[in-house]
A and B are shown apart, each in its own frame.
Chain A
Amino acid sequence: MANKFDIQTRVEHKYAVLETAGYLNDSLGEQLSKKAQELIEKGYTQLVINLDKTALINSIGISILIEIIEALDERDGTLNFCGLSATQERTFRMMAIAKYAGIFPDEKAAIADF
């Protein structure tokens, strides 16, 4: 079963948006981590990850999101999530992610928080 996934990146003046599509597992997570790391190294420390097109996510994928949060923490950066389903948000809150990253209903709200 092929897991089709994609990551779109949009860079603005002070922040960047990473939009995932497809199942967020270790494969997509590693690609997302690589793109986030590249942005952080370029000085973008305010990131939005839009999961609106990611219907399914597993705990390995979430662990990679936590690594991105930690990488941004080390540079006093901020990660905001948006586009989560109710179940994804519930899972993120259970895993304490909401303590260290923002969770917003949509991209506009996630960007406005910066």
Chain B
Amino acid sequence: MANTFSNDQVLLTIPMRPDMELAAAKLASVIAESMSFNDDQIEEIQLAMIESCINAFEHSQSPDQSVVIQYIISTNGLELKITDQGIGFNPSNRSKRRNSQPDLHPDMRKRGWGLEIMNTLMDSVDIMSGENGTTITMVKYKTA
């Protein structure tokens, strides 16, 4: 999404510590509210942000143990860039399960839902990942 107002950007760096994803989600909520997103959209943005952050916390193995988040405000909507400097991953591979217990119902698997949740709740999700880290870019467009 083109960012027509380069100054309309908020930067946040969070350590990979328990519940720090809430800080990122709450800031997203404040920004989204200021942009007049409705309550459902704000909740969708918050949940997608939480999943993106915990994905980085759990899987990135980032040496600096931090996540940088850009909140880019434009007339079209809100763009979120979540970046870690970890080992990267292949988005087509599901994450490993938290434990070795098999799922009782395969269609209701316990882990590996993060990316699907982000895709369901946001209007677009793009992942760039390599050996120097991962950036997940998510956009929620403003609707009339």
Whether A23 contacts B120 in the complex (CB less than 8 A), given A87-B40, A96-B105, A100-B108, comes out as no
Are A94 and B117 in contact (CB-based, < 8 A)?
Answer: yes
Question: Which residues from chain B contact A25 at a C-beta distance below 8 Å?
Answer: 18-19
A87 touches B43 (CB 8 A): yes
- Enumerate 15 A-B pairs (CB-CB under 8 Å) in ascending A order: A27-B18, A56-B46, A58-B54, A59-B114, A59-B117, A63-B110, A63-B113, A74-B104, A85-B43, A87-B44, A94-B117, A94-B120, A96-B107, A97-B108, A100-B108
Contacts of B20 in A (CB 8 A): 1
Q: Give the B-binding residues of A (Cβ under 8 A).
A: 1-3, 23, 25, 27, 55-60, 62-63, 66-67, 69-70, 73-74, 85-87, 90-91, 94-97, 99-100
Given A1-B22, A3-B19: A56 and B47 interface contact (C-beta under 8 Å): yes
B47 pairs with A60, CB closer than 8 A: no
Q: Are A70 and B104 neighbours in the complex by a CB distance under 8 Å?
A: yes
Chain B residues bordering chain A, tally (CB within 8 A)? 29
Binary flags per residue of B97-140, CB closer than 8 Å to A gives 1, else 0: 01000011101101101101100110000000000000000000
Q: Is B78 an interface residue (CB 8 A)?
A: no
Distance between Cα atoms of A2 and B26 in the complex (Å): 13
User: B46: which A residues are within 8 A, CB to CB?
Assistant: 56
CB distance from A96 to the nearest CB of B (A): 4
- The interface of chain B, by Cβ under 8 A from chain A, is 18-23, 25, 40, 43-44, 46-47, 50-51, 54, 98, 103-105, 107-108, 110-111, 113-114, 116-117, 120-121
Given contacts A60-B98, A94-B120, A99-B105, contact A66 B110 (CB under 8 A): yes
Complex Cα–Cα for A51 and B22 (A)? 18
Give A66 to B21 CA distance when docked, in angstroms. 22
Contact B23 A59 (CB under 8 A): no
A91 surroundings in chain B (CB, below 8 A): 47, 117, 120-121
Query: Can you name the residue of chain B whose Cβ is closest to the Cβ of A93?
Result: B120
**Complex: how many Å from CA A3 to CA B26?**
12
Q: For A62, give the chain B residue with the smallest CB separation.
A: B113
- By a CB distance below 8 angstroms, the chain B residues around A60 are 54, 98
